[in-house]
Amino acid sequence: MVKAEIKQLQEIKTSVIGYSSILITGCGGCVSVCLAGGQKEVENLVTKLRLSCKADTAPKNIGGMTVERQCEAQFLSQLDQEVPKYEALISMACGAGVQYLAERFPDKPVFPAVNTAFIGINKDLGWYEERCQACGDCVLGITGGICPVTMCAKGLLNGPCGGPQNGSCEVSKDIPCAWVTIYDRLKAQGRLNNILDIFAVREWQNQTQGSIVLDAYKSRYTGEKK
Q: Which residues bind other proteins (CB under 8 A)?
A: 153-167, 170-171, 177, 179-180, 183-184, 196-202, 204
What is the rounded CA–CA span in Å between residue 218 and residue 26?
32
Question: How far apart are CB 190 and other proteins at their closest, in Å?
Answer: 14
Residue 28 vs 163, nearer CB to other proteins = 163
Residue 75 vs 179, nearer CB to other proteins = 179
Residue 198 vs 216, nearer CB to other proteins = 198
Question: How far apart are CB 116 and other proteins at their closest, in Å?
Answer: 17
Question: How far apart are CB 165 and other proteins at their closest, in Å?
Answer: 6
Question: How far apart are CB 135 and other proteins at their closest, in Å?
Answer: 12
Residue 63 vs 176, nearer CB to other proteins = 176
Question: How far apart are CB 85 and other proteins at their closest, in Å?
Answer: 40
DSSP the chain: -EEEEEPPHHHHHHHTTT-SEEEEEEESSHHHHTTSSSHHHHHHHHHHHHHHHSSSSS--EEEEEEES-TT-HHHHGGGTTTGGG-SEEEE-S-HHHHHHHHHHSTTS-EEE-EEEEEEEEEEETTEEEEEE---SS--TTTTTT--HHHHSTT--SS---S--BTTEETTEEEEE-HHHHHHHHHHHTT-GGGGTSPPPPP--S-SS------GGGHHHHH----
Residue 145 vs 167, nearer CB to other proteins = 167
